[in-house]
Structure formats: structure tokens, C-alpha cells
Amino acid sequence: MLDWDDLRVFLAVARTDSLSGAGRRLKIDPATVGRRIARLEDGIGARLFAKSPQGYALTEAGTRLIPHAERAEGAALAAQETLSGPEGLTGQIRLGAPDGCANYLLPQVLTRLCDANPGLEVQVVALPRVFNLSKREADMAIGVSRPAAGRLTVQKLTDYRLHLAASRTWLAAHPVTGPEDLRAHPFVGYIPDMIFDKELDYLSEIGAPAVRLASNSIPVQVNLLRQGAGIGVVHDFALPAAPELVRVLPDRISLTRSFWLIRHADDTRVARLNRFADLLIREARAEMANLESIA
């Protein structure tokens, strides 16, 4: 009979690749983590990890154990939710998100959710990359494309629009009357080899020239445009936060993308996370409609 507490330690090591990382996550010392893993391996009769200079890597037996341990984790969380009751949202939820979404959409949405649920604590991890939910980098994540693999559940969060934009003062000195004018002007955009998702390759889609000033961060790109660095693709929902910017050729060039809410498959049994996801989707769609209406 496998002990859930040992499986919890096993999952922590698998997700952090180290005894010390698992210890920090579980708030126990690494030596205890090592003893618990040894006890679990003895009970199973198989090695679960292979130690290397890079850390603790799952063996074949460890890889086979992962889905069973995650189902046990989901059952434990669901039981905890049942005992705690349905009243309000409480506890900590970590949400991963692209930095544009995290800076210009989520602050309004999450402030409302936390105001309505005083016992709720939300941690926003804003990184311009794909999150690894299997390693529990976050409880759920917002992505710019729908994942095609993995034990995940995916819901559309909201659609959003993007247009070319530039500062009013820059446009006054560099008028743009049609798409043919674009190649004569400097562009701001992503660092080409740091575009982590094909959905973000906006400039290639519209046939724009190579960027002169580039960043892997959307807020940095927006601030470069505010300073008059040229033209770039900007989310419509970010424009209310940057009144210096105006859309360029909005009737000729327009892009539509979607944000997706991505969760580990086992978490769909956790009522608290389901309620949070439903509220997040509802509030995000309402806020997106509001922001795009005033862009």
C-alpha cells in the first residue's frame, strides 16, 4: 500500500529535480526528503530517480509512477475541497501568464476576484514563455496557443485583437498612408530567436521589415513605442494604458488571437480551481470587451 505522504514527496522531487528544491517546496529538510524517497523505492522495489550532475531524473519506473501519483494528488485535493465547503474562494492559486496579459488584462480582473473573495491569494507568474504544468510551475496557465499534447484540459479564455501602433508625435513626423509606406520605417517587436510561440510572430505575418529595437517583453515594446521608436504590433487591450499610442492603418491591417486557460487534467476534480477558472474566464471576457471598446 503506497503512502500518500511519500507520493507527495516523490512528486515534489520529480517537479523540482532535486532534494533541496523539494524540501523548500514542502518545508522539510532535504535529508528527510531523501529518506522518504528511499523508503518509497524500497516499498516499490524499484529505483525512481537517477542522480546526475543536473539533478534527480526520473527513471522508467518513476515515469510510470507519475500519473498514479498525480491522480492520488487530485483525489487528496478534491477531498480537502469537500471538507472545506463551497463558501467563497480561499487559499493560494498560482497563475502563469504571458507578460502582456499579466500587465494589461489580469490586474483589473484579479483585483475584482480578490475583492469578492477576501480569503483568496493569487500569485501571478509573468513570463514570456510556455509554462510547465507537469512540474507544477503554476496551478494553471494562460497560453497564446492551444497545446496539442500532454495531460491537460484547455478552455478558451478570450479572443483579442492587435493592430499596428505608434506614438502620436512620431506619426506626425512620419506619416503612414498605406501598407507600402511601412518598409521605410523602423519597427519595434520581438527578438526573433526568442519568439516562443508561432502565434507571436506578428511581423512576419504582415510582411514587416526586420525590427530595429527588439525585446522579449510586451511592456518593454509598448514603452519603446511610447518613446517614439517607430511602429509595432500592440494588443488593443494595452492601448488604454498607453494614451500616447494610436493605431496605424487599423482598417487595412488587423490581427486576432486567443488566450487559452490551460490546466492539469487531474485538477478538474478540484472544486476550488474549477470555480476560480469559471470566474476568471467570465471576468476576463468582460474586461477584454471593456478595454477594446475604449482602445
Quote the pLDDT of residue 67.
83
Q: Rounded mean pLDDT of 219-224?
A: 98
Question: Helix or strand or coil: residue 2?
Answer: coil
Q: Where do the structural domains in the chain lie, given as residue ranges? A: 4-84, 89-295
Q: Is the pLDDT of residue 196 over 90?
A: no
Q: Is the pLDDT of residue 186 over 70?
A: yes
Which tops the pLDDT comparison, 162 or 72? 162
Q: Rounded mean pLDDT of 119-125?
A: 94
Which tops the pLDDT comparison, 132 or 85? 132
Helix-strand-coil percent breakdown of the chain, rounded to 5? 50, 20, 30
Cβ atoms of 104 and 52 within 8 Å: the answer is no
213 Cβ partners below 8 Å, 6+ apart? 186, 188, 224, 229, 230
pLDDT in tens, 6-36: 888 988 898 888 999 899 888 899 999 999 9
The Cα angle at residue 215 between residues 213 and 217, in degrees rounded to 5:
145
CATH class of 89-295: alpha beta
Neighbouring CB atoms inside 10 A of 227's CB total: 14
Q: CA-CA distance, 66 to 74, in Å (whole number)?
A: 12
Q: Which of the residue ranges 40-44, 67-71, 190-194, 235-239 would you say has the lowest mean pLDDT?
A: 67-71
What share of the chain has pLDDT > 70, as a percent? 93
Torsion over CA: 137, 141, 147, 150 (sign): positive
Mean pLDDT of all residues belonging to the chain: 89
- Tell me whether domains 4-84 and 89-295 share a fold: no
172 Cβ partners below 8 Å, 6+ apart? none
CATH class of 4-84: mainly alpha
Residue 230 region by backbone torsions, left for phi larger than 0, else alpha for psi between -120 and 50, else beta? left
Q: Is the pLDDT of residue 84 over 70?
A: no
Q: CA-CA distance, 287 to 295, in Å (whole number)?
A: 12
Q: Rounded mean pLDDT of 214-235?
A: 97
CA dihedral 280, 282, 283, 284 (to 10 degrees): 80
Among residues 52, 68, 69, 50, the alpha carbon closest in space to that of 60 is found at 50
Q: Rounded mean pLDDT of 248-262?
A: 96
Cβ atoms of 37 and 10 within 8 Å: the answer is yes
Q: Report the DSSP pairing between strands 91-97 and 120-126.
A: parallel
Quote the pLDDT of residue 149.
78
pLDDT confidence bin for 249, thresholds 50/70/90? very high
